[in-house]
Structure 1
Amino acid sequence: MIVVNVLWKKFGFHLLIISLCFSAALNVSAKPDLKPLGENIADQGSQYYQFKVQNFQSADRLRNYKVWLAIPKHHNKNQSLPALYLLDGNSVMSRLDEQLLKNLSEHDRPALIAIGYQSNLPFESASRSVDYTPPDESGKITPDPRNPERMAGGSHPFRRVIFEQIMPWVNTQVKLDMQRTALWGHSYGGLFVLDTVLNAHQNEQRFSHYFAASPSLTWADSRMLKAIENAQIDWKKGQKLLVMEGDLIQSKGERMSPNADSLMIENNRQAVRDLANKGVDARLMLYPHLSHGQVFQASLMDVLNNRLF
């Protein structure tokens, strides 16, 4: 169980500490489980939320997306709902259950938009490597420096898919509150969230809250940290960024995700500090004793259960 005490306005500095109580049975390995997924709550049906599913395609026709839209069943259709856009949608959907949806339906009743791939895997590694990572100076999709067998650097065209295809479809299905529309992503997805912050130009400010969970800041020779340092950011009053990170680094010999960062806390502090100096309302949330991989679940449940947007 996660116990959270977050009062955004109460903190003047950019560090929030989260107290965690968790089972000793937690797996400390950060390597993701890539076993095929079975049915999720959308397939099983919910008493509290209705699910709609739509497929989309990348501009180069090489990646096929599956988007789950969850709308609370008992809400005033004339009332705008808060909304949370979630990357790695396949894995996110596997973690939603009826009790969680019941709790959400009894409080803010947010709409959930899980953006995944037409796959039965929790993580579509090659596709997310392209979609979630920022480009180099060429602006082109090139081999991933960390995994050369994959491609990377396609965050801009993927964002256009979200803005020009997914969001218009969602807006035909449900009325959303643009003052409470959030984006969450983990690891490479955390890079995408930060890249979206850096590219939040006047015509692209589609989110009020950004949640970057354990972003892979050392990826590609710290490309994101350098981009943050050099960025000019158009930040609107009321927008908020929360960077969420664990403090557990595995010992040598343990299985460890290549996306884990031995300097992750200091790198996150630097990113938050640089962003704050550019006018971004940015905070850092630390999870004691959680690894890079475990921050996926912890941050996701925090955002959902503790109404951080």
Structure 2
Amino acid sequence: MALPVSIKTGLVAAALAVAGLAAAPSMAQPNLAQAVGPTVAEPSSPASAAYRFEQWELDAADGARRYRVQLAVPRRAAPAGGFPVLYMLDGNAAFAALTADQLLALEREGTPPVVVAIGYATNLRFDTTARAYDYTPPVPGPGPTMDSGAHDRPAGGADIFLAFIEQQIKPAVRERVAIDPTRQSLWGHSYGGLFVLHALLRQPASFQRYIAADPSFWWQNGFILQEERQAAAIAPGSCLLVMSGASAGNASNSNNANNANNAKPANAANAANAASAAADQAPPPARAGIDSAAVQRMREARRSVPPETARLFVARQAQRDGLRATWREFEGASHGAMLGLSVGPALQVASSAPGASCTLP
């Protein structure tokens, strides 16, 4: 059985250096109203020397959501077995987080992956209503599943969305580029991370590498932990990487597979990071025009699981036959910042050799 590797980064700057990322602004939550802006797919981007880009749109089966798929394909000839591939949820935001330096480094250093960013047909980075439905699992009970983050949003469409990826998006990608079926990776952040874990637990043959950044364990009072108890058998050679910011509450509970240790601020800089993380963890106060009842529901939802949930989840998953699991903490990183911080590690895992684990330097 594989043991989890628990890696704790000291400062966000160190995490950026390890991941090969440019510094990104820290934020408690992603800016859900932010427009996409320029991306690596711009003709003027240096990334065009290593990758070619295309996109297309398609509708959900029920016509309620329209998807935008952005594809990045290495310009080099495909390996004999096909390229590794990284499927990214919240594709508009994920594609915007990619940098030319990252893609050029992949081209220089190894087998670059195909990147498939699955987003929505909007100029915004996020479609909050669509993602609340697509990325959340169905909860048994009377009536339809509703989003615990906002009770007026339909939820519970994760199985439908996973089938859509398998039946619509993956075939469209394979028509355009040769893919290695043994090196398919799935990345998601927040609700997207919740979807990654749901896919791992329910349909683990869909991908071989699962990468979740600050997944929303708290959703529906920790429903994903109920799904964990009925996890489907997993094929040998699969791996899981869960990355957490300190806003997930893991900093004070960090340990590795064999030796627990209390992660306390060692200096003034770390103390400042810890204070910032604590501020991130606290839900924002009610503001004018904001439903105070919804704010209270969010506070209660986030308190529904212990702060060390991510670390303990990975430790349990590491005991499963066929799965190698890693938990990585980015000390001082807020929930919103984890989207950008996790992209570099996701690319690294996706491009690693066949049979490699989801560990990082």
TM-score w.r.t. length of structure 1: 0.86
- How far apart are residue 264 of structure 1 and its match? 6.1
Q: Which SS does the other structure have where 2:308 is aligned? A: helix
State the shift of 1:111 in Å. Answer: 0.4
In structure 2, which of residues 84, 91, 94 is the aligned counterpart of residue 82 of structure 1? 84
- The percent identity for this pair of structures is 31
Contact residue 232 and residue 278 of structure 1 kept, 8 A: no
For residue 328 of structure 2, the aligned residue among 279, 285, 308 is: 285
Specify the alignment match of 2:167 in structure 1.
Answer: 164
The 1-side partners of 2:180 and 2:10 are apart by 30
Alpha-carbon deviation of 1:28? 4.1
Distance 1:271 1:298 in 2: 21
Deviation at 1:240, TM superposition (A): 0.3
The match for 1:220 is: 220
Give the count of matched residue pairs. Answer: 296
Residue 161 of structure 1 and its aligned partner are, at CA, apart by 0.7
Counterpart amino acid of residue 90 in structure 1: N
Report the 3-state secondary structure (helix = DSSP H, G, I; strand = E; otherwise coil) of the residue aligned with 2:327. strand
**1:1-309 maps to which residues of 2 (within 5 A)?**
12-22=3-13, 26-44=25-43, 46-76=48-78, 78-107=80-109, 108-138=111-141, 141-200=144-203, 205-228=205-228, 230-248=229-247, 249-251=277-279, 255=284, 261=302, 265-279=307-321, 280-305=323-348, 307=351
Q: Do the aligned partners of 2:27 and 2:335 also contact (CA within 8 Å) in 1?
A: no
> RMSD between aligned alpha carbons?
2.8
Equivalent residue letter for 1:289: G
Cα distance in 1, alignment partners of residues 154 and 112 from structure 2: 38
Alpha-carbon distance, 1:29 to partner: 2.5
SS in 1 for 2:58: strand
Q: Secondary structure at the match of 2:125?
A: coil
**Post-superposition offset of 1:265:** 4.4
Larger radius of gyration: 2
Distance in 1 between the 2:42 and 2:52 partners? 11
What CA distance in whole angstroms lies between the structure 1 residues aligned with 2:24 and 2:165? 37
Give the Cα–Cα distance (whole angstroms) in 1 for the partners of residues 50 and 231 of structure 2. 43
Report the Cα offset of residue 271 of structure 1. Answer: 1.8
Give 1:35 shift: 1.9
> How far apart, CA to CA, are the structure 1 residues paired with 2:225 and 2:120?
28
Distance (Å, rounded) in 2 between the aligned partners of 1:195 and 1:64: 22
Cα contact 2:136–2:194 (8 A) shared by 1: yes
Q: Describe the shift of the 1:239–1:109 C-alpha distance in structure 2 as closer, same or farther (beyond 3 A).
A: same
Shift in Å, 1:141: 4.6
Q: CA deviation at 1:140?
A: 7.2
Unaligned runs of 5+ in 1: 1-8
Distance 1:185 1:254 in 2: 22
Q: Secondary structure in 1 aligned to 2:192?
A: helix
> Structure 2: which 5+ residue stretches go unaligned?
17-22, 248-276, 286-294, 353-357
Relative to structure 1, the CA distance from residue 25 to residue 153 in structure 2 (aligned partners, 3 Å threshold; closer, same or farther) is: closer
More off after superposition, 278-287 vs 259-268: 259-268
CA shift in 2, pair 1:144/1:111, >3 Å: same
CA-to-partner distance for each residue in 1:30-75, whole Å, 9 max, x for gaps? Answer: 2425222223222436222111212122121100101011101122
Q: Which has the higher contact order (CA 8 A, sep 6+)?
A: 2
Q: Which amino acid aligns with 1:191?
A: L
Mapped partners of 1:130, 1:264: distance in 2: 25
Q: Which amino acid aligns with 2:346?
A: V
Change (3 A) 1:14 1:106: closer
Q: Secondary structure at the match of 1:92?
A: helix
